[in-house]
Structure 1
């Protein structure tokens, strides 16, 4: 077997073009200012205490003059949507719910030291995109596939999950296999193997 080191591999980011395409990051906004909540990714929690992610929400309901948001773990939400079944969703006070939205102002940090990562506990922090090559342990993480350097009109592809770590493909590219998020969750509740696709790492970002 021929041995090689990472230094022997080409710089795929440079081969992809001199201008790196960076997907928009994720910011969290209070659910009360969002008109349509159904199906949105959400975070619940309490300032100064902590946050719970990987949730989906439905439109608010009012009970006893107080507004609540139905909240489900993502796997249960995907299963209910895929199988068209009714599920019980706990109700969370509106003021304890934030929803995700993409924002081009949320950019990768220039520094990766612990000081640059400090956040306020007043609200859930934004999620800047991270290069797959910079993240250890990407299997199961949400990823964004950006268009190649020659695809000027292409759009970012979201709702994907990584199902492998980076590997050297038959063509010599450093790749990660990904699948649609609904298939990732279906794999968990039914055991059905998802359809996956091979994507070069220079086109993938962790969301």
Structure 2
């Protein structure tokens, strides 16, 4: 098992995360190849499944949810993830705990005007500036059919009997058979 690490996308305390390339799927069991070895992820009908794909500024619309990250505070966004609101609300992710890292801007889009996105955050509205170098992804609800060999997976849940019992799974297409951030299992 890999040593614990802290990152902006770290799972909440008490959860375990598995990230890597899906080697095989058999029923509700997924074998995942990670940098630190292999892991098993089990899922059920109650597991929240989503798929992440390439997006564009045109996917950012009033009422959608965004998470915007920049390399340095006050700089244009390097990346923007777009998702749909659930029951009129946007989920709030965990804030980074790594010294020197600033929190992403998260919330519901209030307006889009050219390269400026106004986001209603948990605190007050904030402005996100984007450029032609900003990378966009969109996250949408998916079914277990999207969990397939050769895709990248991030699964969160609790470990039981040597397998991760997933409460949430996010999948995306691999790039040349590799996952961009294929970090291993991180116990919390």
| TM-score bracket relative to the smaller structure | under 0.3
TM-score using structure 2 length: 0.24
**Which protein has the bigger strand share?**
2
**Which protein has the bigger helix share?**
1
Structure exhibiting the larger radius of gyration computed from Cα positions? 1
Greater relative contact order (Cα < 8 A, sep 6+): 2
